[in-house]
Amino acid sequence: MLGYVQIFKPELKVREYETYMGYYCGICKYIGRNYGQLPRMSLSYDAAFLALLLASVEDEPDIPAAEHCIVHHIKKKTVIRNSAIEYSGDLMLLLAWHKLDDDVRDDGSIAAKSTMLLLKRQYKKLRRRHPELCRVMSEGLAELSRLEKEKCASLDMASDAFAKIMEAILAEGSPDHHEAFAKAGYHLGKWIYLADATDDIEKDIESGAYNPLIYRYEYDPSESPADFRRRITPMLEFNLYQYLSVLEDVVNSLDIKKNQGIIENVIYFGLNRKTEEIIKGENE
């Protein structure tokens, strides 16, 4: 995940924001405690939402505590612990590892190789805990890399490879709600992939990097990147909001037992606001 799945803070209650940050800090603490300090750099706010969503349908209570950390060493911060937080921490590291592996295979990145060496022991531990998920990630990213090298013009094929990874992530995270979470993960994955491609339009045109939108909608070098973005905006809006609509329907069908306000904030405010910013090319 790429940092797109976030809350819209102005619409959150103070207590809800504290809980949200408690999940984020809980994941960070879990990673540091089980895998060391370096892997904590892979953490993004996507992980907090993943943990909140998976935990929302479970009876297991949140266990909050007030703790210091490296960043906040004076004032204690709320830290929450549960099994969903541990799973999300593992997932962030697995995604980071496979992204590094993809960078090495694509362009022989020395920095990626060096980081992989530092994380090799942690990855072996994660692979023992999540063998099937590691297989799905490896195969999905390999397929995505193949499509990128072929300059695939099919947006569905390109996004499907990443969506299946997200499908497996959410399905394994909640075996008792496998079907619903698999569907939610698939459409969230579709949204993330297209959002990232939309966000990178200008950068990829300038650098010549692969972007499925450039091939799917036949970018003409005689038009400016801004004109190209405006030309394909109706298609982007339709697809991005359609993925979110399915995600909303799935989440509404769940028997959410806790933190519903935070989850609804992300689904109805955070993701929709981020979609609007990305379509307009205003994402920071």
pTM: 0.91
For residue 1, the model assigns a pLDDT of 57
CA dihedral angle for residue 141, residue 136, residue 188, residue 19, rounded to 10 degrees? -110
Strand ranges for 24-87 from DSSP E: 63-67, 77-81
Give residue-wise pLDDT tens across range 231-275: 999 999 999 999 999 999 999 999 999 999 999 999 999 999 999
* Integer Cα distance of 74 and 72 in angstroms: 6
pLDDT at 284 over 80: no
Give residue-wise pLDDT tens across range 35-81: 887 777 778 889 999 999 999 999 888 888 888 776 666 678 889 99
Contact 55, 84 (CB under 8 A): yes
Residue that has been written with the tokens 């799945």 in this structure: 5
Please compute, for residue 81, the number of CA atoms within 13 A of its CA located in the half-sphere on the CB side. Answer: 8
- 223: alpha, beta or left? (left if phi > 0; alpha if psi -120 to 50): beta
